[in-house]
Amino acid sequence: MKITTKALILLAAMATGISCSEKGIDQLNKVEKDRFIVKTAKVEKRSIEDTITIVGSVKAFDEAVLYPRVNGKLLKNVLKEGDRVYKNQTVALIERDEPGVVYEAAPVPSTLSGVIGRVYQDSGANVTTQTPIALVVSQEKVRVVVEVPERYVGKVRIGQSGRIKVDAYPDSSFTGKVYRISPVVDKDTRSSVVELLADNSHHKLKSGMFSEVKLIVGAKENVPTVPTSAIIVDNKQSYVFKPVDDKALRLAVSVGLSNEDYAQIIGGVNHGDDVIISGLYGLKDGSKIAIENN
């Protein structure tokens, strides 16, 4: 029987494949099945904040709806939306509508200084003393109103800072401070109204804007911290794993302030120590480990 060149090549390839496969199985068998592949990070000193993220809305610090003092027709809007206005300045003129009697146009004065936020009526409209003429807003400072869930109310204090973001300026952050806390909790929403006061001399924040607020309810400077992923909680006790001689040593720690990124470590490990941050699933005290390059 003749064996062709193609057949020889095929037989050689099959033999090589079997040989490689056997080598792979041998190498796999040499790997310890009970060794965990982990990543580590050092305990580092950094500043850390404890924040509450809540949504709210921007409101002018002061605003007033202006009404005419007499019935009649709107003769003229003296100011338009966006115009600066001062207290007692005339915003509109009303022509009193009484047959046989001629009156001077009655002014509608502003009750505060600010900006005309809205003009409600057109010239010639019939108006009464109950008809809104214009909205005046004072926006050099603005209030950011949020509803804080009941479980966080105890953490909120007058004077605490908050970072404010609005959709109109996604790359910018504005700073406000808590200046008013409602003394009651709403029985339906189980939350309490909190107001922050923010400088708005740049006039970027507009009344009615939707906002996201990160309220800073705690802060520490230059304290030992670890990534939050390093913390394991078991029966209300916090632990970290420290690599020691290719094994994982479980250490009880006390955690201070924490957020989604880092946690303050008050005791249990020291600045500069390594802790395991990845590969923790199933890890126990004394487990064998191999540290993967970070």
pLDDT for the residue 22: 59
| Phi, psi for residue 39 in degrees, rounded to 5 | -120, 155
pTM reported for the whole predicted model: 0.65
pLDDT for the residue 8: 47
Average pLDDT, the chain: 88
For residue 21, name the pLDDT band (cuts at 50, 70, 90). low
**What topology does CATH give the domain 68-132?**
OB fold (Dihydrolipoamide Acetyltransferase, E2P) (2.40.50)
pLDDT for the residue 139: 86
pLDDT for the residue 249: 94
**What topology does CATH give the domain 35-48+223-291?**
2.40.420
**What topology does CATH give the domain 51-59+139-220?**
Elongation Factor Tu (Ef-tu); domain 3 (2.40.30)
What single-letter amino acid sits at 6?
K
What are the DSSP E strand ranges found in the chain? 35-42, 44-66, 72-77, 84-85, 90-96, 106-109, 114-119, 126-127, 134-149, 161-166, 174-181, 191-199, 210-227, 232-234, 237-244, 247-258, 262-267, 274-278, 288-291
pLDDT tens digits along 199-219: 998 989 998 899 999 999 888
pLDDT tens digits along 113-157: 999 999 999 999 999 999 999 999 998 899 999 999 999 999 999
What 8-state DSSP symbol labels residue 104? P
All CATH 2.40.50.100 domain ranges of the chain, comma separated, are 68-132
pLDDT for the residue 50: 87
Of all helices (H) and strands (E), which one includes residue 7?
Answer: helix 5-30
| Phi, psi for residue 12 in degrees, rounded to 5 | -65, -40
Buried-state track 233-256, b at ≥16 Cβ within 10 A, e below 16:
eeeeebbbbbbeeeebebbebebb
- Classify the C-alpha dihedral 169-170-173-177 as positive or negative: positive
Tell me which of 102 and 253 has the higher pLDDT. 253
All CATH 2.40.30.170 domain ranges of the chain, comma separated, are 51-59+139-220
CB atoms within 10 A of CB 160: 20
